Amino acid sequence: MEFIPHDDQTIIEMLRVIGVENINDLFRDIPKDLLIESLGLPTGLSEPDLSKKMKQLSELNHVYDSSFLGAGCYFHYIPSLVDFIINRSEFYTSYTPYQAEASQGYLQAIYEYQTIISRLTKMDIANASMYDGSTALAEAIIMASGVRQKTTILIIEGIHPEYINVIKTYCWGHGLNYKILRIEDLNLELSDDIAAVAFQSPNFFGEIQNIEKLVEKVRLKSPSCLIIQVMTDPTCLGLLKPPGDLDIDIFVAEGQSFGIPPSFGGPGLGIFTVKQKYLRKIPGRLVGKTKELFGDQEGFILTLQAREQHIRREKASSNICTNQALCSLSALVYLLSVGKSGLEEIAKQNFLKSNFLKKNLAKIPGYEIKSKNPTYNEFVIKCPNIDALIDECEKVNIMPPLKLTYYYPEMKNLALVCVTELNSFESIKVFLKAANTAINIGGVKDGF
Amino acid sequence: MDYNILDNLKYTQTHEWVKIEGMNAITGISDYAQHQLGDIVYIELPNIGETIEKGSSAGEIESVKAVGEFLMPLTGKVIQINNLLSENPEIVNQSPYDKGWLIKIEILNLKEENDLVSADEYKNIIEREDK
């Protein structure tokens, strides 16, 4: 279907039928003092001049040779197949698929996304996606509270600090109570009054949690409590046990690592999966496969829509009525492109390369590994002088690791370092050299 | 539109029917209600043993286009629920007063029976609503 804008003659005709002189008359109910006279936009540019201007703007960007920064947003290789498919205008410009007969292609794509996510995580049901990892986690908490009819949530330390801020906002809006605690103190707080326990693994500091032990603890002390796991880099599923095998009730993740560039921290992809028994409580869209009424042809539709807020209104699990269609398509194409063995290889490289850097950093005097558990592709290291390390990284055009005081003022001289399959051994050597140089700069900063 | 209303039953303003059997009562939704909902696809009923107050939500009836709440016509303890409905919710559309009954309760406040309306009164309620 082509988009045909109105021409001047058509506009004049339509205004005449409506009975007004000009378009402004249609807005005459708006108080004059609220009308905007002009937007102050500059005059238009010709295409060559515009190209030049955009090029100048883009040159303000600094492009690093390699990155050691993670903390919830990751640099992974994006196969060219992803852009090739998502840039097709049928996908890129299409609107929400409420009219099934006109949206079979997109509905099939979403159905396949749901299927591949379900297979990867071994969770029974995956929805069509939420906005991002943080809101997926917040929605999981709201859903759990609705399922259990309880208003208190336990949050294990180590969830991404920005995700915790989002949870705080959602809890405030829904009148829920949350308690942040260490995993060791879980037994003291578990009771039948708890709606759910939420934890992140690998956590914000890169540490892989002992999930079996945590699940056992919860099931023993509070059998009807829901267990929610969140993950910020699901490429680790190429290596680690999937949540479906670990008795997780709700598994959510940030899907940006699956074929979506980091950009400026978005857009993201909220992966949302549940056990079969929660099917009717899951928020968001669900695409189903069905047969036509008179015939044998298969087709795809939005299903179980009575869960959603445009029908269930305030009784719905969520007010979301959309999904990250294009991002979920990117994730689908990414996963199909790398395949099972490809994802295993990617995960292995993340794991081996980051642990290689971790081990070799610890050999440099003044640097100390702070991660207690095994780590996937991120770890915490104590530096003799983190500002010097950051300076040295910048000098050799490396995006430096995260200074943890950015979120936790008491964590002085601690860096959260991320290494993915995109970090060549050459870049790791450059980073080690920068780390070495950094110890000879200045004295040890105040800290511990 | 002619909706089926059984004379031997009592009704509520919110389209539930009640059949009193001594100390117990069987409940369901009226023919008018099932017609308004459309094709019913899922029914959520309370657990046996639960005590639910008159007027409180005792379940949800989901159709392709809407979700309706089933409100308890009388305060009671749930002693039986219609197990056929989990696999075949369409029975409520086909036979709302007979095979499509929803909940059987032990009545806990006999005085509440006075708040229920007769078949004739219910006919008037529908006529007003259906305009």
Whether chain B has a CB inside 8 Å of the CB on A312: the answer is yes
Instruction: Say what the pLDDT of residue A444 is.
Output: 47
Which residues of chain B make contact with A311, given a CB cutoff of 8 A?
Answer: 65-67
pLDDT tens digits along A61-112: 999 999 999 999 999 999 999 999 999 999 999 888 888 989 999 999 999 9
Name all domains of chain A by residue range, CATH numbers in brackets: 66-73+339-439 (3.90.1150.10), 80-335 (3.40.640.10)
Mean pLDDT for all residues in chain A: 93
Pairwise CB contact (< 8 Å): B42 & A280: yes
Pairwise CB contact (< 8 Å): A311 & B42: no
User: How many Å lie between the alpha carbon of B42 and the closest alpha carbon of chain A?
Assistant: 10
Mean pLDDT of A208-219: 96
Three-state SS string over chain A comes to CCCCCCCHHHHHHHHHHHCCCCHHHHHCCCCHHHCCCCCCCCCCCCHHHHHHHHHHHHCCCCCCCEECCCCCCCCCCCCHHHHHHHCCHHHHCCCCCCCHHHCHHHHHHHHHHHHHHHHHHCCCEECCCECCHHHHHHHHHHHHHHHHCCCEEEEECCCCHHHHHHHHHHHHHHCCEEEEECHHHHHHHCCCCEEEEEEECCCCCCECCCHHHHHHHHHHHCCCCEEEEEECCHHHHHCCCCHHHCCCCEEEEEHHHCCCCCECCECCCEEEEECHHHHHHCCCCCEEEEECCCCCCEEEEECCHHHCHHHHHHHCCCCCCCCCHHHHHHHHHHHHHHHHHHHHHHHHHHHHHHHHHHHHHHCCCCCEECCCCCECCEEEEECCCHHHHHHHHHHCCEECCEEHHHCCCCCCCEEEEECCCCCCHHHHHHHHHHHHHHHCCCCCCCCC
Which residues of chain A make contact with B65, given a CB cutoff of 8 A?
Answer: 306, 311
Nearest chain B residue (CA) to A304: B64
CB A360 within 8 A of CB A289: no
CB B12 within 8 A of CB B86: no
pLDDT at A38 over 90: no
pLDDT tens digits along A327-354: 999 999 999 999 999 999 999 999 999 9
Pairwise CB contact (< 8 Å): A312 & B67: yes
For the entire predicted model, the pTM comes to: 0.87
Mean pLDDT of A168-189: 94
Pairwise CB contact (< 8 Å): B67 & A306: yes
State both tokens at B65. 């286009």
ipTM for the whole complex: 0.72
Residue A1: pLDDT band by 50, 70, 90 thresholds?
Answer: low
pLDDT tens digits along B33-43: 999 999 999 99
pLDDT tens digits along A248-266: 999 999 999 999 999 988 8
Name all domains of chain B by residue range, CATH numbers in brackets: 10-110+117-126 (2.40.50.100)
Tell me what percent of the residues of chain B surpass a pLDDT of 90: 87
Mean pLDDT of B26-53: 94
